[in-house]
Amino acid sequence: MPNATPMPTKLPPDLADDLIQSMAEGIALVDADSRVTFLNRAAERITGWDLEQARGMPVEAVLTPVLDKGHLLEQAQEGSTRLVAVVHRDGQERTLALTVSCLNCAGTPGPVRALVFRDATEEAAAQRLRAYFLANISHEFRTPLSALKASVELLLEEIENLSKAETIELVKSLHFSVTSLQTLIDNLLESVSIEAGRFRIRPRPTDLKLLIADTGNLLRPLLERRNQALVVRLPDGLPRANVDPMRLTQVLVNLISNASKYGPLDKPIELDVAFEPEGGLKFSVSDQGSGVAPEERANIFRRFVRLDDEKDKAQYGVGLGLSVVKAIVEGHGGRVGLDGRSGGGSVFWFTLPLED
């Protein structure tokens, strides 16, 4: 039987170099003085430095750790992957998933450590969003549930002693809490369906005037609690429209609820519907609050974005409502936007196309 050809124990140098250069992860080699001796193409892309510029530079000049986070190699643990915050060459903060391996720790000439890293900025942002979401969703549920529990307990204990007016007030409180829970759950379910790609619009001919009236009735407990009137202005000849009535109601509930939260007590919320010159309808919900800074408007319809009240820094909600509004409106073929209100406040608007 002929002798088997022995398998090579090492990659040919050219193949090893091609393999390293083709990797999606960045690879940097550093010497005993922590100076860069090599970067592959991915490392050049991730760091913004090319090899000729970076060669001989301290590794912390190429991968500059964020202040107060400690030295780069101290943050990494040999053989395990850690998330480290660095400042990119363009000045932006990035998060890297970094692994450090000892190649030649015996002190002989040559590279001492290999740094393998990838850009994990979006991954780290997603982790922060999940943590933020879990931290706040429990509070959002707890508030209406606590009010429900208190109202029900009072009804059970004092029903025979309560006057009609007191009973009505407790029932209004129950209605308000149930509406708040329903809105929160609807937004959660819609957000999950959007992310999973299962979001669908189911349009049918709908009486918009009746839909708007029903929305106002649904939100009456919220508006009465803050002593806010809902002023509705509709055009003459408002037609029936081919829309998803449940989801269009959800859009109006989210926008009017937001206007109520951020608008001052005792001031009206305005809902205007008008025909657009190019066809279709434009719905505008206006409040008289502190408004939204122009630089924040571009991100306001993204998930998990919340507004802070400038006076008391109070934060509202979990940041799902406006992202759901955007998805529903765009699912109908419309557009959403935000403008400043003359005299102070915000105008959230959306459009709906009208079929002939």
Q: Specify the DSSP element, H or E, that contains 238.
A: none
For the chain, the farthest-separated pair of C-alpha atoms sits apart, in whole angstroms, at 105
The domain boundary, picked from 71, 99, 119, lies at: 119
Flag whether 8 is in a domain: no
Same domain, 81 and 52: yes
Residues 178 and 258 in one domain: yes
Residues 109 and 199 placed together within one structural domain of the fold:
no
Q: Are residues 201 and 228 in the same domain?
A: yes
Percent of the chain with pLDDT over 90: 23
φ, ψ dihedrals at 145, nearest 5° = -65, -40
CB 211, CB 248: distance < 8 Å: yes
177 and 309 in a single domain? The answer is: yes
Same domain, 115 and 134: no
Same domain, yes or no: 107 and 156: no
Contact call for residues 300 and 317 (beta carbons, < 8 A): no
Of residues 130 and 68, the one with the higher pLDDT is: 130
Residue scoring higher pLDDT (76 or 90): 90
How would residue 315 be classed by pLDDT, with cut points 50, 70 and 90? Answer: very low
Q: What is the pLDDT of residues 273-289, one digit of tens each?
A: 999 988 899 999 999 88
Residues 211, 141 share a domain: yes
Give the pair of three-digit tokens for residue 320.
């799902």
CA distance 140 to 306: 13
The dihedral built from the CA positions of residue 45, 49, 51 and 56, taken in this order, carries a sign that is: negative
CA distance 276 to 130: 40
Q: Is 4 inside any structural domain? A: no
In a domain, 7, yes or no: no
Cite the DSSP H helix spans in the chain: 13-22, 41-47, 51-54, 59-62, 72-75, 121-158, 164-195, 208-225, 245-262, 321-331
Helices and strands in the chain, H and E counts? 10, 13
Last residue of a domain, one of 70, 89, 119: 119
Average pLDDT over residues 14-42: 87
272-296: burial string, b at 16+ Cβ within 10 Å, e else: bbeeeeeebbbbbbbbbbbbbeeee
Domain final position from 88, 119, 150: 119
How many domains are there within the chain? 2
Report the C-alpha gap between 217 and 22 in whole angstroms. 62
Tokens 């619009």, located at residue: 201
- 214's tokens: 């029903």
Interatomic CA distance for residues 304 and 195, integer angstroms? 13
Among 315, 310, 280, which residue's Cα sits nearest to residue 293?
A: 310
Nearest C-alpha neighbor of 270 from the set 246, 288, 297? 288
What confidence score (pLDDT) does residue 242 get?
92
* pLDDT of the residue at 190: 75
Say how far apart CA 356 and CA 60 lie, in whole Å.
Answer: 64
Residue 341's domain comprises: 128-352
* Chain segment 114-163, per-residue pLDDT in tens: 889 988 888 777 777 677 666 666 666 776 777 788 878 888 888 888 88
Kindly give, in sequence order, each residue whose CB lies less than 8 Å from that of residue 67, ignoring residues fewer than 6 positions away: none
Say how far apart CA 288 and CA 260 lie, in whole Å. 9
322 found inside a domain: yes
Structure token digits, residue 254: 């989210």
Q: What is the pLDDT of residue 139?
A: 62
On the question of pLDDT at 193 being above 60, the answer is yes
Q: Does a structural domain hold residue 5?
A: no
In a domain, 11, yes or no: no
Is residue 258 assigned to a domain? yes
Same domain, 217 and 140: yes
Arithmetic mean of pLDDT, 58-74: 77
Strands 204-206 and 230-233: unpaired
- Domain assignment present for 151: yes
CATH of the domain at 83: 3.30.450.20
CA distance 331 to 351: 11
Q: Which residue has the higher pLDDT, 314 or 264?
A: 264
User: Which CATH number does the domain housing residue 302 bear?
Assistant: 3.30.565.10
Residues 88 and 135 in one domain: no
- One domain, residues 163 and 85: no
pLDDT at 77: 64
Mean of all residue pLDDT scores within the chain: 81
Q: pLDDT value at position 272?
A: 96
Q: Is the pTM of this model over 0.85?
A: no
Asked if residue 203 and residue 154 are part of one domain, the reply reads yes
pLDDT in tens, 30-65: 888 889 999 999 999 988 899 999 999 998 888 888
